[in-house]
């Protein structure tokens, strides 16, 4: 009887141990912010200026990215004497460079509204996520590229794509040792790549002003070769930015001179 009692106690301990030691999504996120500089310090970030390069067909192209808490943003790359702009937002207009005509082109109303819904995610969508209407869920553990990770599902308010409401779901894979995201995956909903999964891999975390950022980023379609390799060379926190750089360049209308 004593042996059975001891065995029962041992089985009970084994049964409850996973419940006691299992981590929740919120605990993982708390460790993430603690390990990357502290949640309160992240909340003080009002702007970010990234400088680096992107590997394009074997060439290193200089790039520059600016993000502000009010939503204003800009990404530009220089190639063969030309400057290409992407995801530029001036507070009301979202625009980019048309790569065929090299002219500045405004995004449609749907894309602009989708962009606006993400403004409150700066500088990180997990900061006060519940107050933003987001939900997080710990899916479990998964090994990614040989690294054990926590897989967390982030669900945000639906967005419109081609006139159809679609779920906005992103999966983050956090390294179980350092609690930093090393892979982000999200299904592409619109455009020619619709239905594919966009994948972003992040590594080489470095400290900038007390916060940690990935300095090596690879963006690609999951399961596909190639992709864009981005190397960050410098990050400035809360830079002084002249907001005129975000403005959509209205075309100059030439008038005929009177004879």
Residue with tokens 């309160």: 40
Checking phi first, is residue 170 left (phi over 0); if not, alpha (psi -120 to 50) or beta? beta
Q: Which two tokens stand for residue 253?
A: 């209308």
**Cα 237 from Cα 241, distance rounded (Å):** 11
Specify whether the CB–CB gap between 211 and 37 falls below 8 A. Answer: yes
State the pLDDT at residue 44. 98
Q: Report, as ranges of residue numbers, the positions in the chain whose pLDDT lies below 70.
A: 1-22, 252-259
State the pLDDT at residue 16. 42
**Cα 68 from Cα 63, distance rounded (Å):** 17
**Cα 188 from Cα 167, distance rounded (Å):** 11
State the pLDDT at residue 250. 81
Other C-beta atoms within 10 Å of 141: how many? 13
Please, which residues have CB within 8 angstroms of residue 236's CB and are 6 or more apart in sequence? 48, 49
For the domain 24-246, what is the CATH code?
2.50.20.10
- The 10s digit of each residue's pLDDT in 63-122 is 999 999 999 999 999 988 899 999 999 999 999 999 899 999 999 999 999 999 999 999
């Amino acid at each position: 009887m004593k042996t059975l009692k001891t065995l029962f106690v041992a089985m009970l301990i084994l049964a409850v141990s996973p419940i006691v030691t299992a981590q929740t999504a919120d605990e993982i996120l708390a460790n993430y912010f603690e390990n990357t500089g502290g949640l309160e310090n992240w909340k003080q970030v009002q702007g970010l200026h990234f400088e680096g390069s992107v590997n394009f067909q074997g060439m290193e192209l200089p790039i520059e990215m600016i993000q502000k808490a009010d939503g204003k943003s800009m990404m530009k790359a220089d190639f063969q004497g030309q400057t290409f702009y992407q995801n530029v937002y001036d507070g009301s207009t979202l625009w980019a460079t048309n790569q065929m005509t090299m002219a500045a082109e405004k995004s449609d109303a749907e894309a602009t509204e989708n962009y606006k819904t993400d403004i409150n995610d700066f500088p990180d969508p997990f900061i006060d996520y519940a107050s933003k209407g987001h939900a997080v869920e710990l899916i479990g553990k998964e090994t990614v590229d040989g690294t054990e990770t926590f897989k967390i599902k982030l669900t945000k308010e639906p967005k419109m794509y081609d006139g159809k409401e679609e779920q906005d779901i992103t999966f983050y894979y956090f390294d179980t040792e350092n609690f930093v995201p090393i892979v982000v995956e999200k299904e592409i909903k619109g455009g020619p790549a619709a239905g594919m999964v966009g994948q972003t891999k992040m590594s080489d975390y470095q400290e900038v002003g007390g916060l940690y950022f990935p300095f090596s980023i690879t963006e690609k379609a999951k399961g596909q070769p190639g992709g864009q390799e981005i190397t960050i060379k410098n990050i400035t926190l809360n830079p002084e930015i002249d907001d005129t750089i975000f403005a959509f360049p209205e075309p100059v209308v030439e008038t005929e001179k009177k004879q």
